[in-house]
Amino acid sequence: KKASVLERHIFFWLSFFIIVLLPTMLAFGLAWIVAERYVYLASLGIIASFVLMWQVLNEKFYETKKMYWLVGILIILALGARTITRNNDWKNQDTLWLSTVKVASSGHVIHNNLGDMYGRWKQYDKSISEYKTAIAIQPNYADAMHNLANTYLEINKVEEAIYWYSQAIKFGPRLWQSYQNLGAIYYQLGELKKAEELFAQAVEINPSDENLKKNLEIIRTQKALKH
């Protein structure tokens, strides 16, 4: 009878683990960053099940009780060591992405974030390489195209920046930042008509941004003065 009660408890906690995770097992994505948080509550089910199963085994094999405790201690030590290692991975956003790419190298978002990291480190060649990898994995990834354009602009490769901002707009027509940045390039090049069109589109997408409106008015004023 006692064994039956323990088995029901084990079944309950294993079911708890699965049920708590069910909302994350959907056909569409809810989020992509820090996915380990979904397991925090569910892990209670695994821990409780492990403790209960340990109790069952300990009662069935009482003669080898010392061996079971030794195995238990070794498991705890191994899990503790893994926790310390994982804490180092979570030290900051850079160590997290560097560790993540080792186990999930096919993730386009991961390579996009590595591109951002290398850009902040001023390692532009690596940054460009990571963004291009992200785009190769996900050919319609507008955010990576926009970030790649930003990187080219940072190193004064204007033609490449124009191309990738245009690609970002093509695949992400609601990405107003690409319209803004491409418009700013054309403004610097003296092509006020193109700059006006791009800033007007940016304002249409993001009408609450006062800076966009001010810049559009400046361009229109300068364009009117030239005529």
CATH topology of domain 94-226: 1.25.40
Measured between alpha carbons, how far is 21 from 17 in angstroms, rounded to an integer? 6
Which run of H or of E encompasses 221?
A: helix 210-226
Give the pLDDT of the chain (227 residues) as one tens digit per residue. Answer: 555 777 788 889 889 888 888 877 665 555 555 456 667 788 888 888 888 887 777 776 666 667 767 777 888 899 889 888 878 877 877 787 788 788 778 889 999 999 999 999 999 999 999 999 999 999 999 999 999 999 999 999 999 999 999 999 999 999 999 999 999 999 999 999 999 999 999 999 999 999 999 999 999 999 998 87
Q: Residue 150 in 3-state DSSP?
A: helix
> Rounded to 5, what percent of the chain is helix, strand, coil?
80, 0, 20
Q: What is the pLDDT of residue 181?
A: 98
> 179 and 195 in contact (C-beta within 8 Å)?
no
* Listed residue (125, 127, 129, 149) closest to 137, CA to CA: 129
Spans of all domains in the chain: 2-90, 94-226
CA distances from 29 to 26, 114, 125, 137 (A): 7, 21, 31, 18
Measured between alpha carbons, how far is 175 from 146 in angstroms, rounded to an integer? 9
The pTM (predicted TM-score) of the whole model is 0.72
Cα dihedral angle (203, 205, 207, 209), rounded to 10 degrees?
A: -70
Q: What is the pLDDT of residue 97?
A: 74
* Other C-beta atoms lying within 10 Å of the C-beta of residue 43: 14
